Amino acid sequence: MKFWIRLIVGLVLLALIGWLAIPVPAQKAPRPEWKVVNEADNAWPEYHELGQEARKAETFPDDVLPAPGKNPQVDAVRPAFDRLVKAAARSGSQRFEEPPSVGSTDLMYVYKDEKTLVRLALAESRRLAGAGQLKQALELSLACYEMGADLSEPGADLTPTLVGAQIRRRASLVLFELLQEPALTEAQARAVLAVVESCNQRIPAPGQAVAWDREAVARGLEETLEQDAPPLPGLKARLQSSVQQRMAAQQKLLVEAMQTWDPAQVQLAQAQAEKLRTGGLLMRDAVPEMKISLSNSLRQLYLDRVNASALECLAALAAYARQHKRLPARLEEALPKPPVDPRTGKAPGYRVEGREAILWYPGPDGQDEQGKKAVNFEQRDQDEGADVIYRFQLR
C-alpha cells in the first residue's frame, strides 16, 4: 500500500515539475504604434527643460506678469517663452521612452515644472495683450495649447493625458479672452482656428486613453515578470499568461465603458475590473490597483473635449464677426460642421441675445437644459441640470 502511495505522489511531483519546466509560448502585451520623432524635431525635451527654468519664478502668484524690468525673477524666465513658441511649432512632439509611473492619484505634483511654465506663459500672454501686443499674446497662448496636446501620445499611462487636459483648459481660458479683443483681426482668428483644429485631432477618446494606460501597465508587468519570476520556464510563462489574461479582460471592460461617456457605467466597470485584477490563481496581486477614479477622469476628459470644441466654435465666430460686423444667426454660418457633443453626438446649442452669442453643451449628465445653468468645473456634485456654457460678445 505504501509503495502505491509513494508511486502516485512521485508521479504527481514529476508531472508538476514537467508542467513548470516545459516552456510554453507566451503572448506579449500589445504595443501601440510608437510615434517616431527625429531628435532635432522632438519638442518634449525642451518643454521639460523650460519647465525647470520656470522654477525661478514659480512662486509668482498673479494672473498677469509685471512689465520687463520690474521683477528680476520673472525676467529670468522670459527667454523661455520665446523658446516655448519655437518648440511648439516643430513638426514633432513628445515620444515616451519609458511610461511614467502608473496610477498617480495627485496630479498637482505630476509634471509640476511644465505646469508652472504654462501658468507663467499665460500670465505673460495677458500682459502682452494689455500692452497692445495681441499677435505675441496669441502665439504664446497657442504654444501652451499645443504643449498640452503634445502630452497625449500613444504609449503613456492615463496621467499625462489628464495633465494635458489641464494645460489645454488653462490655455483655452486665455484664448477665449483674446478672441474677444477689439484689436483681433479676421486673419488672426482664422489662424487660431487652424491651430486649435490641428491640436484637437490629437486628443484621444476616453477609451483610447484607457487602452494606452492598460498597455503601459502591461509592459511594466511584463518586464517585472521577466526579471523577477522563478527561473522555471513553464512557471514563468504561465505567470505571464495569467497576468496578461486579466489585463486584457480589464482593458476590454474599461474601454467599452469609457466609450459610453456615462459615469455610472464607468464606475460599475471599474468595480468589476478590480475583481478581475485579483481573480487569477497565480500571482493574484501582480496586477496593480488602479487608484485613479475613472468616473472622475471621464468627467475631466468630457469637459476637455467640450472645451476644445468650444474653442473651435468661438474662433470661427470671431472670424465671422470680424468679416461681417455681426454675429451669425446660426452657428453653421460661421463653422459649417461644428464639433458635436461627445456624449450626445449632437451639435452644441446656439443662440444670439443682442450683441452676445451663447454656446452650450449638455454637460456631463447628457441632459440639454438650453444653456440656462452653467456647470461648475470644480464641483462634480453640481452637474445635474447644468450645461457647459460659453459666451462671445461682439465688440
The tens digit of pLDDT for each residue in 215-241 reads 777 766 666 666 655 555 555 666 666
Q: 144-182 b/e with 16+ CB inside 10 Å = b?
A: bbbbbbbbbbbbbbbbbbbbbbbbbbbbbebbbebbbbe
User: Between 293 and 120, whose confidence is greater?
Assistant: 120
Q: CB neighbours of 121 closer than 8 A, spacing ≥ 6?
A: 80, 81, 84, 140, 141, 143, 144
- The sign of the torsion formed by the CA atoms of 317, 318, 321, 322 equals negative
pTM: 0.82
| Residue 224 one-letter amino acid | T
Q: How much is the pLDDT for 356?
A: 93
Instruction: Quick: pLDDT tens for 80-137.
Output: 888 888 888 775 554 444 444 444 444 445 578 888 889 999 999 999 999 999 999 9
Q: How much is the pLDDT for 20?
A: 45
In the predicted structure, residue 63 carries a pLDDT above the cut 70: yes
- Among residues 244, 278, 251, which one has the least CA distance to residue 236? 244
